[in-house]
Structure 1
Amino acid sequence: MNIRALRTALAIEHGAEMTCPVTIGYHLRTVAEAANEDLERGMALGDVAPFWRVVDASTPTTSKLSFGAAFVAAQRKREGLER
């Protein structure tokens, strides 16, 4: 699922016409940073929120992550999400 599909699904689920792209980006970044902190504390990759399934290395949100886009790109490649 990409960000556009996530925004559409959330809007439909909550009976809205659309969602705010800035708010979605803000919350995706929060989830990604929290997942990274969990990984740094030793949590298994399978136990963190798989945010990389929504964002990709070219997403503006990814460029703002404290740990960079390389992790996102590597995970997407590992899961076959990148061609």
Structure 2
Amino acid sequence: MLEYKFDTQLLIEGQNLNEDEINDYITENFQGDCLLAVGDDELIKIHYHTNEPWKVLEYAATLGEIYDVVVENMERQANGLKG
């Protein structure tokens, strides 16, 4: 069984985005692993494994417009099912 079962990916489009601040906030406030927060001051891509993807999405929505949201259940995928 996986410790964190949801692979959460999204793009944030906004102004004055800071990938280091976003990375730190997610790391300090949401349990998970495999975090990537990369981009520039107008577009950031987030990739994070967590059990509560809605919290990451809620936070990201406060920073700008979110889109290309993908949440996959890796536990189902590991069992040969659609995630």
Greater percentage in helix: 1
Greater percentage in strand: 2
Q: Which fold has the larger relative contact order, with Cα–Cα distance below 8 Å and residues 6 or more apart in sequence?
A: 2
